[in-house]
Amino acid sequence: AQSELASKYCSISNASKLKILSALTEDRSMTSIVSENNVSVNTVQRVLGSSSHRFLDSYEYLPAHLAFDE
């Protein structure tokens, strides 16, 4: 069965994944996020790993202004 609520072959809803991702931005432990959302630690780690590429810095460009300190 397919639904817009969850991705294909996944039993955790997209809304739950967004809630976990939102909780990961706060200063909280993984165990508190796990107990609040009733998921496993592996699920929290999987959500973090699937969205970590959004937060990596790209060094392929230079900013418009550079400042050097002596």
Q: Residue 55's closest CA among 15, 6, 21?
A: 21
Predicted confidence band of residue 56 (pLDDT cuts 50, 70, 90)? low
In degrees, rounded to 5, the angle at the alpha carbon of residue 8 between the alpha carbons of residues 42 and 34 is: 25
Question: What's the mean pLDDT when you consider all of the chain?
Answer: 86
Does residue 43 lie in a domain region?
Answer: yes
Tokens of 63: 């900013």
55, pLDDT greater than 70: no
Q: How many domains, in total, are found in the chain? A: 1
Q: What pLDDT, on a 0 to 100 scale, did the predictor assign at position 18?
A: 92
Find all residues with CB under 8 Å of 68, minimum gap 6, and list them.
none
Predicted confidence band of residue 67 (pLDDT cuts 50, 70, 90)? confident
- The Cα 17–Cα 13 span in angstroms is 7
- The Cα 19–Cα 65 span in angstroms is 37
Q: What pLDDT, on a 0 to 100 scale, did the predictor assign at position 34?
A: 95
Domain ranges, residue 35: 14-50
Does residue 32 lie in a domain region?
Answer: yes
Does residue 66 lie in a domain region?
Answer: no
